[in-house]
Amino acid sequence: MDAYIGYHGRIPKSIQDGLGETLAIGRGSYSAVHLAFRRRSYPSPTIHAVKSAPLSSASLLQREEAILTELHGCPQIISCFGHDITTDTAGDLLYMLVLYN
């Protein structure tokens, strides 16, 4: 996992297993943001933004998901593909939101 650093410096297992290579691009007040590259997509690799936060403090990330879901289909708004709850390498639960522009 080149350059992937989770919200608390740990790598979520679902990122390791499903999305392929990732790159940390930022961290805000309530989540970390990473680019995830899915190499096995057809016809070319896809790039997603993945926001992650500890499950115990993910309420703002969950609210963001609800708003993005309401705005689905607006061409000026990023698309939300849903969320995943996973564990990081230390076994702590993470809430992950998958986005695509």
Span 7-26, pLDDT tens digits: 444 445 555 555 556 778 88
Distance between first and last Cα of the chain: 23
* Pairwise pLDDT comparison (100 vs 64), residue with the higher score: 64
Write down the pLDDT at residue 45.
62
Q: 13-100 is classed in which CATH architecture?
A: 2-Layer Sandwich (3.30)
* Pairwise pLDDT comparison (75 vs 37), residue with the higher score: 75
pTM: 0.71
Taking the mean position of all CA atoms in its chain, how far away is CA 40? 18
pLDDT over 60 at 73, yes or no = yes
Across 33-57, average pLDDT: 78
Q: Domain extents for the chain?
A: 13-100
Tell me how far apart the alpha carbons of residues 21 and 44 are, in angstroms, rounded to a whole number.
Answer: 15
